[in-house]
A = this chain, B = another copy of it.
Amino acid sequence: MTTAKEEFQVIFMPSGRRGTAERDEPLLDAARRLGVEIESICGGRLTCAKCKVIVEEGTFAKHGIRSEIGHVSPASDEELDLLARTGSDLVAGCRLSCTALVQGDVLVFVPEESRAHKQVIRKAATERVIDVDPAVRQVYVEVDEAQLGEHRGDWGRLQSALEAQWKLTNLSIDLHVLRRLQPALRKGKWAVTVTLWHDREVIDVQPGYKEGVYGLAVDIGSTTVAGHLCDLRTGEVLASEAIMNPQVTYGEDLMSRVSYAMTNPSGLDKMHGGIIEALNGLAARAARSAGLQIRDINEAVFVGNTTMVHILLGINPQELGGAPFALANRDAMDIKARELGLRFHPAAYVHVLPAEAGHVGADNVAVLIAEEPYRQDPISLIVDVGTNAEILLGNSRRMYSASSPTGPALEGAQISHGMRAATGAIERVRIDPLSWEPRFRVIGEGMWSDEWDTGVNAPLENQPKHLATGICGSGIIEAVAELYLAGIILGDGRFNPDQPHERVQWNGKRGAYILADAGQTSTGQPILVTQDDVRNVQLAKAALYAGAKLLMNRAGIDHIDKITLAGAFGSYIDPKYAMILGLIPDCPLEDVTAVGNAAGDGARIALLNRHKREEAQHYACWVTYIETAIDPDFQNEFVGAIHIPHATDAFPHLESVLQTPLPRPSASNDDGRRERRSERIRERRAKSA
């Protein structure tokens, strides 16, 4: 007689993949079963140490589930030896996933280096036209030689030379530079290259004539930290790097991090230390790939949401966790990088852009100065979707901003088979309106799923390189929109109970659509879109829409001239589907554009042009912030936006979207199907009208 084995909850971060594991299942096996790809070369023979994971200590609220301390088997001596030899941080809970066995509910963080497939992150900085006029510049200067009977001191003589040759007065000098001044002057035979910050402070002195000032612009996202290393003379991007924000281990959304800082005495220190180390790592890597060293970085500009900026500065974000959401500081700050523990040039400054309000931070101000809606007459709606959506609305006369609690569904989290936009994620979905048969495309694989041949004897070119492991943000949006267009779900989001189909499973009154069958997935389990997934997408899109609508109401605006989608979300989703689902208000489709990481671009702009910093400070205060959390109008709009929209008067442009055949990957003998489909849509919409 076999007794049923005990089962435990296992969650893998940062993907958020979850599932159950039997007692004593190795973490590596559980991960693979759940579609979390962890690298492993030796296959558990304790030699490669590639499969390192961090088993979280403490109790964290993650997606409403709590994982407790120490619910994995203790490490053997061999494992400890290997971990120690490979420089692992045992204190942080580092383990080898091939030998750590599940013995309770457990939360596991898979560090970037252990992931089999790295995240897809837009690395290249958008090529924007920026006037290069940075805060840091170099001047070459010839200094009077020290001589007996003349007592100004070397710094006094350098000041005199800078005034005479460059009209620079009232300068100060960083202590670290003063320490190196005398040898530099003598080595350079009294000619030096001086690096200045805002023409106010000397932040470097090098012997002789030297060229090269470098800056780093970083967007510190809740999940991703992306930086561009720039040549401050040419404005050229020399290197771009992106890494996961290590704070993800302390909670995926902002509120969990705020509460981690509030409830753990060393919580803030850990998160602060984590992001500083991450920034040092990112900067060092960027410098290396540009043939530089981290200490060549003369200045940095950082942006991020208010919680990220508070933690970056070592300020407890707890006030942001509840009304009235008071910021410690709204204004821009200049801080010595070394004060934060950053290993840039010892005299380098960090400039942090200002915030607008408790929930709209420096990242949104960066979007503002990158997009400059305040210089334009057409009315812009700028939407930057992350775990919170930041929304800007207005034109040169007036701008409004708001933050809307969309939750992480649009990023692929809180979706039963959701995952971030990584290799294996379903990112495109089509459902035949007649047969209800799906086709999809996964990241990292060029072919649509209906072109795959997964048979053992299939020609190599027909075998997919990557099977599906989950659904990412753009995938879930397309899936829900296509489910609606095919009539599988109704306008209120319910699965249509009147049309049974083999693709739809029922669990009581809750349907689920089989998007990928077992043979198409890396886990060997089908990938479903469940009723809960549809609900979560509905909540997210209603929040986003309600936020935009609230701003329109406040501004007395009834139409929008252009919509700008910022951030990764905007780059990956198809605006048509966003409009079909009603994520964004009505607007001519050709006026909806994606601009990529506008926050990162704004940071780079502020790095390269100091006047843009003044502009940021000015417009951050000029924008009228609307607090969604307390506005009854917001609740009202939110409730009204839960349904998937009809083509009513409120959505004149939606009608044209639906009349237009949706894009197909190949035009090959598809005309008939496309026509039938359009016809069917028109029919159904006529009925429901």
Contact = CB atoms under 8 A, between A and B. Distances in A.
Given A151-B356, A154-B329, A156-B331, A179 B315 contact: yes
A313 B333 CA distance: 26
Contacts of A355: 153
Nearest to A356: B151
Given A153-B355, A155-B331, A331-B153, A325 B148 contact: yes
A357 B154 CA distance: 11
A329 B156 contact: yes
Question: From DSSP, what is the main secondary structure of chain A's interface residues?
Answer: loop
Contact of A324 (B146, B316, B625): B146
A521 interface: no
B324 A148 contact: yes
Interface string A593-632: 0000000000000000000000000000000010101100
A175 interface: yes
Given A182-B316, A182-B319, A329 B155 contact: yes
B182 A326 contact: yes
A358 interface: yes
Interface string A176-204: 00110111000000000000000000000
A234 to B, nearest CB: 32
A233 interface: no
Contacts of A147: 324
Given A149-B627, A182-B316, A326 B175 contact: no
Contacts of A63: none
B315 A150 contact: no
A66 interface: no
A330 interface: yes
Interface string A330-341: 110101000100
A314 interface: yes
B151 A328 contact: no
B319 A146 contact: yes
Nearest to A623: B151
A323 interface: yes
B148 A627 contact: yes
A168 to B, nearest CB: 16
A63 B532 CA distance: 86
A630 B148 contact: yes
Contacts of A179: 313-316, 328
A152 B182 CA distance: 45
A644 interface: no
A107 interface: no
Given A148-B323, A355-B153, A630-B148, A178 B313 contact: yes
A303 interface: no
Nearest to A150: B324
A237 interface: no
A326 B627 contact: no
Contacts of A318: 182
A21 interface: no
Contacts of A326: 146, 153-154, 182
A153 B324 contact: no
A154 B315 CA distance: 12
Nearest to A333: B175
Given A146-B319, A330-B151, A175 B314 contact: yes
Contact of A327 (B148, B153, B329): B153
Contacts of A339: 175
Nearest to A624: B151
A315 B331 CA distance: 35
A67 B181 CA distance: 34
B627 A153 contact: no
A177 to B, nearest CB: 10
A325 B147 CA distance: 8
A680 B105 CA distance: 104
A502 to B, nearest CB: 52
30 contacts: A146-B324, A146-B326, A148-B324, A149-B627, A151-B356, A151-B357, A151-B358, A151-B625, A152-B330, A153-B326, A153-B327, A153-B328, A153-B331, A153-B355, A154-B328, A155-B328, A155-B330, A155-B331, A156-B329, A156-B331, A175-B314, A178-B313, A179-B315, A179-B316, A179-B328, A181-B328, A182-B316, A182-B318, A182-B319, A182-B326
A-B CB proximity, top 3 nearest: A146-B326, A153-B327, A153-B330
